Structures are given as structure tokens and as C-alpha cells.
Structure 1
Amino acid sequence: MRFILILFTALSLISCEEKTEIEFSSVEITPVFIDSLSIRAMQPLDENRVWFAADKGKVGLIDGDTPKLAIIKYGDSLLHFRSIATTKEAVFVLSISNPAVLYKIGFNGTEATNIEEVYNEKGDNVFYDSMKFWNENEGIAIGDPVENCMSIIITRDGGNTWKKMRCENLPKVENGEAAFAASNSNIAIFGDNAWVATGGRKSRVMHTADKGITWEIYDTPIVQGKAMTGIFSIDFLDETNGIIFGGNWEDKPFNEGNKAMTKDGGKTWKLIANGKEPGYRSSVKFVPGTQGQGIVAVGSPGISFSGDGGKNWKELSKEGFFAVEFVNDSVAFASGNNRISKLSFRK
């Protein structure tokens, strides 16, 4: 009896660990917003609503067929936004370049209620890349170095105030190491963790397990050494399993050393599908509810999909986008030049 019980338990554990491949045969691409903008930052609320922040100072909520838009100026200048994050009661947008200005937009679930400036940073090398929230109170934004560390600002009060971390508390960066403001996705959040992907002449992953109080940094096998090489996007399934994606922006078909996965929380990374399609991509996401088997990566060359955890990939579309954000296991929004589209994946 004991033998049978032990055998049954062992078989149960094995079956629980099995992961079934999934299959997307096609993707239906439906434009939901057209404008003469470069849109690299967006945050869906549900299948019909998505916030976005773009260049030319434009920020908006696409609500079904209704775009609710605003233009934000700083003095006489139009700001350019590539970072966005949301909480239940607010939307945050952060501009690139000098000055970096972070705005909190109140949101009542239907309409924007007010807008206020909550952070401002001036300097020749100031350039913020992406932003995420751990919870309703604590959030983080990442930017290029202005000293010998990445620029990191953190809020602990729901985004009302933001404080920049001192370099003495952060890993030092190499000369020419920075980050890419390509898709608001060089930060990944899970639990109390945050992972930050760098690129350029050095391409590594920074990690905090305590919401930004302490940090480590780890090497990756991603192609690096030039200004436009490295990790462009990072995503984590849980505390241990993650993926990084990028490549060489100046040689987009190049598909060696441009995608890798970790099983130990980012300490070590192993290349996947090396020397196989796809090449450069600027945004990667695990498909919700697929136990890490479904992965979608988008970039200006097109949309790629893996149904077996990154081992093999296929092209679903040649239509190019900068960023992708999932709503559920079959619907996502993608943004690019002049448009936001809804992606409906078909099995």
C-alpha cells in the first residue's frame, strides 16, 4: 500500500510539471487609433480601453471607438513620452530628454480628472526609458546614466512624490551602457522584484528583490558592444523564469545572441533559438495563462510567436510594431508608428 501511494504521488508531481505546447495559427490586426505619432508606451485597462503616451506631447485614452486626447506642454515645448504606468486612480507619463517631467493624471474610471507635475529633473544626459508600479503605492522609473549608475526614481506614496536613488546604492555601469526607450518594457515586475535590462556597449540585467532598496547586476549572453545592440525588452513569468529579447537595431535580421531565458531569477541566462528566427524585436511578453509556453515578440520587422517556451518561433505577421501589452490569453494591444492596434490571436 505504501509503494502504491508513493508511486501515485510521484506520478502526480510529474503530471503537474508537464507543460503543454500551445498554438496560435494567426493574428487578426484591427487598428483602433490612427495618428501621426510614434507610440511606444501604452497600458491597456481591458479589451476595449487602452491608455497611451506618445511624442508631440500627446497622451490619450482610447475607449472603444472614442479617443480621449490631451496635449501636454512644458512651457512652450511639446514633450515626448515613452513611459507610462497606471494605478486604480491615476495614470503616470514620463517624458524623455531634458527636462524629464513626470505627470500624474487623475482618473475616475471614465475620465481624466486633473493633471499635476510630480517630478522634474534637468541635465544634459537626462533620458528616462520606462516605468512600472509594484502596487498602488510603490512604483519605479528607469533612465540612462547621468553619473556612473542607471538613473532610478521611486515613489512610495502612490506617485505623489518621487525620489532619485543615489549611485552609491546602485551597481556601477560600464562606459557606453544605458537602456533603450523602445517599448516601455525594459523593466519587469513580479511580487517585490524588479528586473531592469540595459544595453549598448554592455548589456546586463539589474535585479532588486526588495522593491528597489538593494540591487545586484548580472551578465547576459545578449549581443553587445555597439551603441544599438543589447536587450530591448524583458518580461518575467514569476520570481524565477524570465525572458530577454533584443538584438542589433542596425542589423535587424541578425538572430544570434538576441534572445535568452533565465530559470534562476536573472542570475544566469541561456540563449534560445540561437541563429534562428526571429531577429531583432523591441518588445516581448509571456502570453497570460500559458505557463510560460506562449510568448509573443514584436518589433518593426513583424510579430513572432513561440508556443513551446521559446524553443521554436514562427512569424504571424510582417506588420511592424514597437510594443505589445496583453489583456488576456488571446487579446493584446500593439503600438507603433502612427497607430495602436488590437491583436486577436487565433488558435
Structure 2
Amino acid sequence: MKKTILLFGLLVTILSCKQQQIEQDFEVTAFSKIEINTLHEDSISIRAIVIDSNQLWFAGNNGKYGAIDLKTNKKFRGRISKDSLHPEFRSIAKTKEGVFVLSVANSGLLYKINKDKTIVKLVYQEKNEKVFYDSMQFLDDRFGVAMGDPVSDCLNIIITNDGGNSWQKVPCEKLPKVEEGEAAFAASNTNVILRGNSIFIVSGGKKARCFVSKDKGMSWQVYETPIVQGKAMTGIFTADFYDEKIGFIAGGDYEKQEANVDNKAMTRDGGKTWKLVGQNTGFGYASCVQFVPKSEGKSLVCVGGTGVHFSNDSGATWKKLAEDKDLYTLRFQNDSVAYAAGRNRVVELKFKE
């Protein structure tokens, strides 16, 4: 028995030392500068982009959408109209069969565009004066989720299980109730995050909370966050999850864009609890935050009203890499290259040590 206990203790010690060695060997790259290259310019406001292999798709206002070949810089531009109106798109997502764009306001219009760009099909439409869709994501080539502001007393959520060819609204009785004045912001298509079987949805306004489903929307839990809230233009504007446990939310007060207190928080337990980080430092109002790939959830980049900022210590400290205040959304292609879009342009971001 004593030998068994000694062997077990020795094994625990070895494994502990091994884990410590792995942690010591891992070093997070510290970016010190950034190179910004313009890929596309137009009269357009872009808050939705998605990388599909070697193509960057974008969608914006006035019915405009398009794609840029990241190898040849060849560009495709399209425009959608419905009943002589041009919808404003702030959500975009992809599967192996198509790219999907979703408009914000009444009528809510969701289109599927095939990969060769020859067919544009309306796959979902919702008419309601309160309709305002904020974000859409696919987990894989079958399951996708889109969410919007409440049309009754719950968030407006639709789900697809057939790759986006058909969408079903989740009944309000199966969703958590929202508080008065609680909604969401269509700032960068980052209100919905899908990781594994988990759905994470963040809200803003008079309440800033995190809605979590661990079973693809069958049941939900709602967790409070410490992000500034209480007014119509406060709360969580953007979120990202590195995996099903590590997540980051950011936002602030849109009407006080320099304020950098109570606007950043981290979770390590899948959204159940949140800890404020980076108090009185780094960015103010945030439009989009993204984890840097292969950083073990330690490196982040944020764009918004106070420029482009980078952190390599889980949001505790931040370094401003660019003054550009007109970028609204970004996505990483790898651990040193990302693409961003905003007012009238799409850019490539090259991060350097």
C-alpha cells in the first residue's frame, strides 16, 4: 500500500513538472507594430466579413456585398434589392455550399449566395416593425444561428439544421426572458459565438448579459456581466471565445468613446463568471475584439472608436498599434495576419514584433 501511494505521488509530481515545463516553454508573441494595406475602397459601411479559404467576403449597407481573392486581389461586387429597396447587411456567415448575408431591420432578409456568385436566393424573411437582426454564425456545414433584438419578451433567435436552406424561429417560451431595455448591437457580427456544442450570445443596453446554451439551443442559462450598462448605448458590443471555456467581452459607452473603465471582461468558465480587466487602460468603446490564433487565449486585438489595440496578457494591458478609428470588424487568417473592414474600405492587417 505504501509503495502504491509513493508511486502515485511520484507520478503526480512528474506530471505537474511536465505541465509547468509546457507552460514555461510557451511564449506569447508581443506585437509592437502593424502594417495596414488597403484592399478595397467603395462608398460602403462594412460590419460583416468572413474568410472562406482564399477569399474574403464582405457585406454592408445599401445592399452591397462582395468578395476579394486574397491571392490575386481580384474583386467581385454584387448588390441586392428587394421591392426596390436595398437592405443593410451586418451579418455574414459561410458553409461549404454558400455564403449567407442577413439584413438588420424590417423586413429581416436572409440570402444564400452560392460560391460561384451566380445565384442569390432568399431563404428566410421576417416582417415585424421590431425586427433587427444583429449577428449570425455557423458551427459547421449544417448548424447555424442568427440572433436579433427582442420582438416580444425574448431575444429573436432563428436556427438552421440543414445548412441554411431553411430557418426556424425559436419560440419565446423556450428562451430566457430579456430585461426591459435589453437588446444587442450589430457592431461587428460578434454577438453570437459558436464553439463545440455551445452557443454564446451577448446583450447590451440597460442590461449586459451572456446567454449560454450547451446543447445547441435546447436549453439556456443567463449570466450577469460587469460591463457598463444601464443606458441605451451601453453594454457589450462584441465578444469572442477562444474555446468553450475562455472568452472575452468588450464594449463600453458609445456616447463616451474614450471611457476605458468597466468595458472589458474575461471568463474562464464558459461565461458563468466574468472578471473585469484592463481598467482605465487600453481602448475605450470597442466595436470588435478577436483572439489571436495559437495564443492559448492570451492574445487579443480590438478595433473601435479609439484605434487598433493589442494585448498579450489576456487583456490586462494593451498597446495601441494604430490610430485608425474607422475599422468596425476584423477576422484573423493566421496568427499574424488579419483582415478588417469599416467605413468605405477593406484592409489587410500584418502584425509584427
Q: TM-score, normalised by structure 1?
A: 0.96
Residue equivalent to 1:101:
109
Q: Which residue of 1 aligns with 2:66?
A: 60
Residue 263 of structure 2 corresponds to residue 258 of structure 1: yes
Of residues 137, 147, 151 in structure 2, which corresponds to 1:146? 151
1:77 aligned counterpart, secondary structure: coil
Normalised by the length of structure 2, the TM-score is 0.94
Query: What SS does the corresponding residue of 2:16 show, helix, strand or coil?
Result: helix
Question: Percent same amino acid at aligned positions?
Answer: 48
- 1:246 is matched with 251
Give the AA of the match of 1:228.
M
Structure 1 residues 295-334: aligned runs within 5 Å? 295-320=300-325, 321-334=327-340
- 1:9 deviates by 2.5
Alpha-carbon RMSD across the aligned residues, in angstroms, is 1.3
Deviation of 1:113 after TM superposition, in Å, equals 3.2
Q: Deviations over 1:38-95 (max 9, x none)?
A: 000000124x520001001001111242220111001110111000000111000001
Task: Verify the 8 A CA contact 1:285 1:297 in the aligned structure 2.
Answer: yes
Match of 2:3 in 1: none
Which residue in the other structure is 2:48 paired with? 41
Q: How does 1:284-295 map to 2 (within 5 A)?
A: 284-295=289-300
Q: Bigger shift: 241-250 or 55-64?
A: 55-64
Deviations 1:221-254 (A, max 9, x none): 0000011100011111111110001001110110
Match of 1:81 in 2: 89
Which ranges of structure 2 fall in alignment gaps of 5 or more residues?
Answer: 1-5
Per-residue Cα deviation, 1:294-319 (whole angstroms, up to 9, x for no partner): 11011132100001121110100011
Unaligned runs of 5+ in 1: none
1:6 Cα deviation from its structure 2 partner:
4.7
> Counterpart in 2 of 1:342?
348
**Secondary structure, aligned partner of 1:112:** coil
The match for 1:72 among 52, 76, 80 is: 80
Which 4+ runs in 1 deviate beyond 4 A? 1-6
Q: Contact conserved, 1:20 with 1:293, CA < 8 A, in 2?
A: no
| Counterpart amino acid of residue 90 in structure 2 | R
* Contact preservation (8 Å) 1:37, 1:337: yes
Show the counterpart of 2:179: 174
1:13 CA drift (Å): 2.0
Aligned position for 2:27: 20
Q: Secondary structure at the match of 1:113?
A: coil
- Give the AA of the match of 1:87: T
Quote the Cα distance in structure 2 between the aligned partners of 1:238 and 1:160: 27
Shift of the alpha carbon at 1:5? 5.1
Contact 2:179 2:207 in 1 (8 A): yes
Give yes or no for contact 2:283–2:307 (8 Å, CA) kept in 1. Answer: no
Partner AA of 1:32 in structure 2: L
Q: Secondary structure at the match of 2:334?
A: coil
Work out the CA distance in 2 between the residues paired with 1:338 and 1:304.
21
Distance 2:224 2:15 in 1: 39
In 1, Cα distance between equivalents of 2:152 and 2:280: 36
Q: Which moved more, 1:112-121 or 1:257-266?
A: 112-121
- Is 2:279 aligned against 1:271? no
Q: CA shift at 1:167, angstroms?
A: 0.7
Deviation at 1:20, TM superposition (A): 2.7
Instruction: Describe the superposition over 1:158-198 as per-residue Cα deviations: whole angstroms up to 9, x where unpaired.
Output: 10100011111101001110000000011111111110010
